[in-house]
Structure 1
Amino acid sequence: MSLMHHLSWRRSILVLVVASLLTLSAIELLSDEPEIALVIGEPYETMRQRSSASIGPAIPGHSWFNVPRSDARLRFVDPQYGFVTPLARFFTVSFTDEKVRSVRMSPQIEPLLLDDTLKVVLDLQEQWRNAGWTPIKVDYFPSFADTPQWRAQLRDVNKGGKAYWHAGTQYQVLLVVSRFRDKKRPTEERYLITLALATPWTNP
């Protein structure tokens, strides 16, 4: 083996090792993020024990909600319809009779620029599509897309956008995007995403 071939081979091995280490670091970082891991309808205490983010207990005999004690992502752990969100600062888990009833959250820790907003929304829709969720009411509420038409609609403070998805007859998601006046960045276009998850509350 020539010296050049030897150096090229060593360089290739080094690149693979570095890439592997970076991938492992990213996985480790992601796994270290606090998360609320749940399924709609399960015992609330099961959710608390499974989750790495701290959240208060349910109140027996009451319908109410709790908020995680830190930023946390949602991991929806249904074996067929599961998905994962980015970290969220606004995050509520509602309960009735000590069972998980619904989730309402913004899958972000600050108002986002439009490009970043679309990245989050399109990733969630892709997860749902791959897991067998289907969009509903598309004649009135088409799924989000990165198109000039959608960008213009989202920039309109009087419009924004929303989309509904069903997971069979088990779950429903509502996804809403709207302009947000961020006092910290008054000259920038910032957006809020709202995600609501529960058993179906509208017909397909």
Structure 2
Amino acid sequence: MNLLQRMGWRRGVLALAIAALLTLVAIEVLSDDPEIALLIGEPYESMRQRSSASIGPAIPGRSWFSVPKSDARLRFIDPTYGFVTPLARFFTVMFDDEHIHGVRMSPQIEPLLLDDTLKVVLDLQEQWRNAGWVPIRVKDFPSFADTPQWRAQLRDENKGGSAYWRAGDKYQLMLVVSRFEDVKRPTEERYLITLGIHRSRGVQ
């Protein structure tokens, strides 16, 4: 191996080492994000003790909700149907008699452009599909897809889109995407994603 070949080989090794380091840094940053880790139906205090994001206690004997004290991602920890969302700024954990009975959130920290919105939505749907969730009510509410038809529907301020998914006989969720008038960016098309999760209410 001549000098030029050795230099090229060393550059290649260095590039791979840098790429590996950047990947490890990205994983570490992701793992450091505050998160709410929960199951629907579990004691509220179990969620508080497990989660890295701070959230206030439940109110005994009340049906109400709490909000994390910082942006946080949701980690839904069911061993079969689990998934993880991006960081959320709007995030409510609903409880009744000190047990969790639902979540309502927007898995984003600001209104998103359409390409970014579809990326989040399609990633969530792929996680659900891989974990055994199935879309329901598809005749009226088909799952989201990156197609010209879906893009046109979402751009229509009077339409938007909704999809429904079920995890066996345990949970059901609703995913909604709608245009959002962002006063900070009045010339841009921005979108809001809403995700609601609760116990399954039977076959639909």
1:184 alignment partner, SS class: coil
1:61 is aligned to 61
Aligned partner of 2:145 in structure 1 is 145
| Structure 1 position 16, deviation (Å) | 1.4
Alpha-carbon distance between aligned partners in 1 of 2:7 and 2:132, rounded to the nearest angstrom = 48
In 2, distance between residues paired with 1:200 and 1:160? 24
Give the aligned residue type for 2:184.
K
Deviation at 1:203, TM superposition (A): 2.5
Number of the residue aligned with 2:83:
83
User: Which amino acid is the alignment partner of residue 21 of structure 1?
Assistant: L
Q: 2-side partners of 1:188 and 1:4: how far apart?
A: 51
Where 2:195 maps in the other structure, the secondary structure is strand
2 CA distance for matches of 1:191 and 1:6?
52
Q: Is the 8 A contact 2:172 2:198 kept in 1?
A: yes
5+ long unaligned stretches in structure 2: none
Tell me if structure 1 keeps the 8 A contact 2:135–2:165: yes
Q: TM-score normalized by structure 1?
A: 0.98
Residue identity in the other structure for 2:123? D
Gaps (5+ residues) in structure 1? none
1:92-131 alignment runs, 5 A limit:
92-131=92-131
**Runs ≥4 in structure 1, deviation > 2 angstroms?**
201-204
After alignment, is 193-202 or 54-63 more displaced?
Answer: 193-202
TM-score, L = length of structure 2: 0.98
- In the alignment, structure 1 residue 48 sits paired with structure 2 residue 62: no
The answer on 1:180 being equivalent to 2:192 is no
State the Cα distance separating 1:202 from its structure 2 match: 5.5
Which residue identity lines up with residue 14 of structure 2 in the other structure?
L
Q: Displacement, 1:156? A: 0.6
**Cα RMSD over matched residues?**
0.9
Question: Residues 58-96 of structure 1, C-alpha deviation per residue, up to 9 Å, x if partnerless?
Answer: 111111100000111101111111111111110000011
The number of residue pairs the alignment matches comes to: 204
**C-alpha displacement at 1:201, in angstroms?**
3.1
Q: Distance in 1 between matches of 2:188 and 2:203?
A: 38
Partner of 2:190: 190
Give the CA deviation at 1:200: 1.4
Q: Percent identity?
A: 75
State the distance in 2 between where 1:90 and 1:172 align.
20
Answer whether contact 2:157 2:179 (CA < 8 A) is retained: yes
Sort the Cα spacing of 1:112 and 1:202 in 2 relative to 1 into closer, same or farther, 3 A: farther
